[in-house]
């Protein structure tokens, strides 16, 4: 029994050892995450199955490596903040490409017919009555604008002559006929229309005369009082529509000669001003006048457009491209609400203290006439300020030969593009 006890003891020990071994093997099999389909206790099978999943992560880094590429490209199209810069650059560009002061030389005293130009400054400008100027900020460009009165303030000289005497003048008010007549000696190029139809007229007392055409005035032999120089009068004489013997070139805008004749003469003036002036302001007359527009009998020039010397276009092309739309808009703003600027124009005229006078009624009547007769209006399209180049060429064809025959220094072979351009017009601006 002693021997069998020893055998049993050894069997129990062996059995216990094998049980422990089996438990350990099972535990090792659990650590392999059940990757194999059939469980096994063979260590080699378990050891070889574990590395197989290890290569699987290797394709994973490839998508991760590709993702940074689109992220790296995103900053490239980020110029959105730069899109706001043009407004700032545009405001600064005026001072970069334009003279600090822009001078406009007009051809007459301040009046409603110049209102769109004065509107670019607005009613808050500075009046210098002695020197006939009005100055202030040129809209919001950072530039200064100075508007100079013409007439006696320039000794009744043609504006073209004054522009060539004073290089500080940037823009001038020069009629189309004058540009043609002076094209050889003092060339100018018109860059914007101010008045679509010329308000220049022949006026008379309807109680004395009943004219229906310029030929009626010629045939009557009545004296025609006019400004000197007047290219329109020269044209009417050269074409036989008026007689040289009936002309009086001493007119300075004063009513004295007409009053002295008791309405017995015809005089040249603006339909936008003179009828209301004589009826409502000049107490010694106080009656209506009748008139014919010179536009209606062939004188189809653009009256008082903004012109520059040719070298101004060469030197300041970028400046003009930015400035002209500002002056276009000035007329739109003025005609939409003329009263504030008209009131300021009254104050300017009073400070200048000349024979020229205005009133609220005169200015209001001028606006009415400008609207009713399309004097201030778009052209044939929807744009304000642009030229009909065919109309310009027709005027050249009509009057250049007349001026040449009269001895004027007209540029040989003159074409419309030599005296006018639409290059700087913004076609989106109009009434």
- The tens place of each residue's pLDDT in the chain, 431 residues long, gives 444 344 333 334 333 343 333 333 333 344 444 333 333 334 444 444 444 444 444 444 444 444 445 444 555 555 555 555 554 544 558 999 999 999 999 999 999 999 999 999 999 999 999 999 999 999 999 999 999 999 999 999 999 999 999 999 999 999 999 999 999 999 999 999 999 999 999 999 999 999 999 999 999 999 999 988 788 898 899 889 999 999 999 998 889 999 999 999 999 999 999 999 999 989 999 999 999 999 988 889 999 999 999 999 999 999 999 999 999 999 999 999 999 999 999 999 999 999 898 999 999 999 999 999 999 999 999 999 999 999 999 999 999 998 998 899 999 999 999 999 999 999 999 99
How far apart CA 296 and CA 238 sit, in angstroms, is 18
User: How far apart, in whole angstroms, are the C-alpha atoms of residue 186 and residue 387?
Assistant: 21
pLDDT given at position 65: 45
Burial per residue of 205-217, b for 16 or more beta-carbon CB atoms within 10 angstroms, e otherwise: beeebebeebeeb
Please answer whether residues 181 and 408 qualify as being in contact, where contact means their C-beta atoms are separated by less than 8 angstroms: yes
CB burial string 28-42: b at 16+ within 10 A, e below: ebeeeeeeeeeeeee
| pLDDT score for 320 | 98
Say which residues have a Cβ less than 8 Å from residue 396's Cβ, sequence separation at least 6. Answer: 180, 414, 415, 416, 419
Which pLDDT score is estimated for 246? 97
Name 276's Cβ contacts closer than 8 Å, sequence gap at least 6. Answer: 361, 362, 365, 366
Cis peptide before 229 (omega within 30 of 0): yes
Walk me through the domains of the chain, giving residue ranges and CATH numbers.
1-48 (no CATH), 95-195+302-419 (3.40.190.10), 200-297 (3.40.190.10)
Most distant CA pair in the chain, distance: 174
∠ CA 253-258-259, nearest 5°, is: 115
How confident is the model at residue 425, as a pLDDT? Answer: 99
pLDDT at 253: 83
Phi, psi of 248, deg, nearest 5? -135, 110
* pLDDT attached to residue 298: 84
By C-alpha distance, which of 186, 177, 267, 273 is closest to 230?
Answer: 177
Of 226, 261, 262, which Cα lies nearest the Cα of 244? 226
Supply the pLDDT for residue 84. 52
- In this predicted structure, what is the pLDDT of residue 20? 34
Instruction: Judge contact between 190 and 213, C-beta under 8 A.
Output: no
> What's the predicted TM-score (pTM) here?
0.75
């Amino acid at each position: 029994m002693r021997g069998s006890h020893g055998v049993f003891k050894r069997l129990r020990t062996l059995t216990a050892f094998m049980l422990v071994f089996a438990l350990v093997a099972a535990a090792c099999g659990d650590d392999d995450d059940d990757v194999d389909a059939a469980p096994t206790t063979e260590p080699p099978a378990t050891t070889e199955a574990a590395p197989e999943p290890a290569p699987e992560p290797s394709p994973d880094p490839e998508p991760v490596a590709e993702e940074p590429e689109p992220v790296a490209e995103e900053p490239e199209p980020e110029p959105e903040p730069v899109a706001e810069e043009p407004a700032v650059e545009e405001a600064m560009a005026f001072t970069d490409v334009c003279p600090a002061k822009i001078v406009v030389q007009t051809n007459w005293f301040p009046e409603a017919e110049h209102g769109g130009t004065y509107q670019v400054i607005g009613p808050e400008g500075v009046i210098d009555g002695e020197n006939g100027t009005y100055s202030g900020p040129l809209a919001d460009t950072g530039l200064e604008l100075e508007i100079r009165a013409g007439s006696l303030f320039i000794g009744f000289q043609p504006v073209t002559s004054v522009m060539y005497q004073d290089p500080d003048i940037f823009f001038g008010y020069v009629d189309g006929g004058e540009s043609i007549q002076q094209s050889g000696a003092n060339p100018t190029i018109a860059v914007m229309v101010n008045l679509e139809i010329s308000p220049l007229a022949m006026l008379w007392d309807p109680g004395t005369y009943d004219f229906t055409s310029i030929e009626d005035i010629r045939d009557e032999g009545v004296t025609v009082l006019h400004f000197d120089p007047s290219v329109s009068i020269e044209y009417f004489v050269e074409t036989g529509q008026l007689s040289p013997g009936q002309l009086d070139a001493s007119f300075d805008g004063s009513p004295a000669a007409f009053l002295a004749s008791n309405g017995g003469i015809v005089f040249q003036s603006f339909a936008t001003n003179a009828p209301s002036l004589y009826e409502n302001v000049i107490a010694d007359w106080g009656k209506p006048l009748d008139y014919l527009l010179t536009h209606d009998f062939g004188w189809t020039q653009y009256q008082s457009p903004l012109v520059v010397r040719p070298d101004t276009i060469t030197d300041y092309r970028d400046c003009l491209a930015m400035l002209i739309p500002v002056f276009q808009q000035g007329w739109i703003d003025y005609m939409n609400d003329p009263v504030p600027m008209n009131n300021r124009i009254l104050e300017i005229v009073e400070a200048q203290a000349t024979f020229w006078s205005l009133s609220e009624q005169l200015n209001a009547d001028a606006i009415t006439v400008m609207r009713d007769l399309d004097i201030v209006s778009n052209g044939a399209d929807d744009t304000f300020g642009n030229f009909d180049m065919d109309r310009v060429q027709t005027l050249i064809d009509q009057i250049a030969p007349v001026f040449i025959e009269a001895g004027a220094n007209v540029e040989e072979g003159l074409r419309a593009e030599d005296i006018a351009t639409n290059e700087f017009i913004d076609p989106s601006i109009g009434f």
